[in-house]
Structure 1
Amino acid sequence: MSSEDLTIAIIFLLQTTVGVLGNFSLLYCYIFFCFTGCRSRFTYLIVRHLTIANSMAILSKGIPHTMAAFGWKDFLSDFGCKFLMYVHRVGRGVSIGSRCLLSMLQAITISPGNSRWAELKVKAPKCAGFSLVLCWVLHVLVNVIVPIYVAGKWGNKTTPNYKDDGYCSSVQPDKTVELLHAALLAFPDVASLGLMLWASGSLVSILHRHKQQVQHLHRNNLSPRPSPETRATQTILVLASTFVTFFSPSPPSFKFL
Structure 2
Amino acid sequence: MAPVDLRIAVIFLFQIVTGTAGNLALLGHYCILYFSGCRSRPTDVILRHLIVANLLVILSRGIPETMAAFGLQNFLSDVGCKLVFYVHRVGRGVSMGSTCLLSVFQAITISPRSSRWAELKRKALKFIGLSNILCWGLHMLLNVRVPMLMSDKGNNGNSTKTIDFQYCSATLPDKEKGSLFAVLIISHDILCLALMIWASGSMVFILFRHKQRVQHLHRYSSRRSSPETRASQSVLILVSAFVFFYALSSALHVLFSFHYEGTWWLVTTSVISNACFPTARPSILMSRECSLCRLIKKN
Aligned equivalents of 1:186 and 1:99: distance in 2? Answer: 16
Q: CA deviation at 1:37?
A: 0.8
1:12-161 correspondence to structure 2 within 5 Å: 12-156=12-156, 159-161=159-161
* 3-state SS in 1 of match to 2:170: strand
Q: What CA deviation, in whole Å up to 9, does each residue of 1:71-90 have, x standing for no partner?
A: 11211111111111000011
Q: What CA deviation, in whole Å up to 9, does each residue of 1:111-134 have, x standing for no partner?
A: 123433221111222211010011
- The answer to whether the 8 Å contact 1:152/1:168 transfers is yes
- The answer to whether the 8 Å contact 1:93/1:139 transfers is yes
Match of residue 234 from structure 1: 233
* 3-state SS in 2 of match to 1:64: helix
- Stretches of structure 1 that go unaligned for 5 or more consecutive residues are none
Cα pair distance change 1:123/1:148, threshold 3 Å: same
Q: What CA deviation, in whole Å up to 9, does each residue of 1:132-152 have, x standing for no partner?
A: 011011001111011111111
Letter paired with 2:134 = L
Q: CA deviation at 1:158?
A: 6.3
Q: What CA deviation, in whole Å up to 9, does each residue of 1:95-119 have, x standing for no partner?
A: 1111111111111011123433221
- The answer to whether the 8 Å contact 2:81/2:168 transfers is yes
Q: What CA deviation, in whole Å up to 9, does each residue of 1:175-214 have, x standing for no partner?
A: 2322221111222222112111110000000011111222
Q: What CA deviation, in whole Å up to 9, does each residue of 1:201-236 have, x standing for no partner?
A: 0000001111122223333x2440011111111111
- Greater mean deviation of Cα atoms: 78-87 or 153-162: 153-162
Q: CA-atom RMSD, angstroms?
A: 2.1
Match of residue 215 from structure 2: 215
Match of residue 280 from structure 2: none
- Greater mean deviation of Cα atoms: 236-245 or 61-70: 236-245
- Greater mean deviation of Cα atoms: 34-43 or 171-180: 171-180
Q: CA deviation at 1:159?
A: 4.2
Aligned equivalents of 1:2 and 1:155: distance in 2? Answer: 22
* 3-state SS in 1 of match to 2:72: coil
- The answer to whether the 8 Å contact 2:82/2:151 transfers is yes
Aligned equivalents of 1:231 and 1:148: distance in 2? Answer: 46
- Greater mean deviation of Cα atoms: 17-26 or 152-161: 152-161
Letter paired with 2:105 = L
Aligned equivalents of 2:166 and 2:124: distance in 1? Answer: 45
| Identical residues among aligned pairs (%) | 56
* 3-state SS in 2 of match to 1:239: helix
Q: What CA deviation, in whole Å up to 9, does each residue of 1:25-56 have, x standing for no partner?
A: 11111111111111122122111111111111
Aligned equivalents of 1:236 and 1:161: distance in 2? Answer: 42
- Greater mean deviation of Cα atoms: 114-123 or 189-198: 114-123
- The answer to whether the 8 Å contact 2:108/2:120 transfers is yes
Tell whether 2:244 aligns with 1:245: yes
TM-score (norm 2): 0.79
Instruction: Tell me the number of residue pairs that the alignment of Structure 1 and Structure 2 aligns.
Output: 255
Cα pair distance change 1:157/1:71, threshold 3 Å: farther
Aligned equivalents of 1:222 and 1:104: distance in 2? Answer: 32
- Stretches of structure 2 that go unaligned for 5 or more consecutive residues are 258-265, 268-299
- The answer to whether the 8 Å contact 1:93/1:188 transfers is no
Higher relative contact order (CA 8 A, sep 6+): 2
Aligned equivalents of 2:241 and 2:60: distance in 1? Answer: 22
Match of residue 168 from structure 1: 168
Letter paired with 2:104 = M
Aligned equivalents of 1:81 and 1:100: distance in 2? Answer: 29
Match of residue 276 from structure 2: none
Aligned equivalents of 2:37 and 2:132: distance in 1? Answer: 23
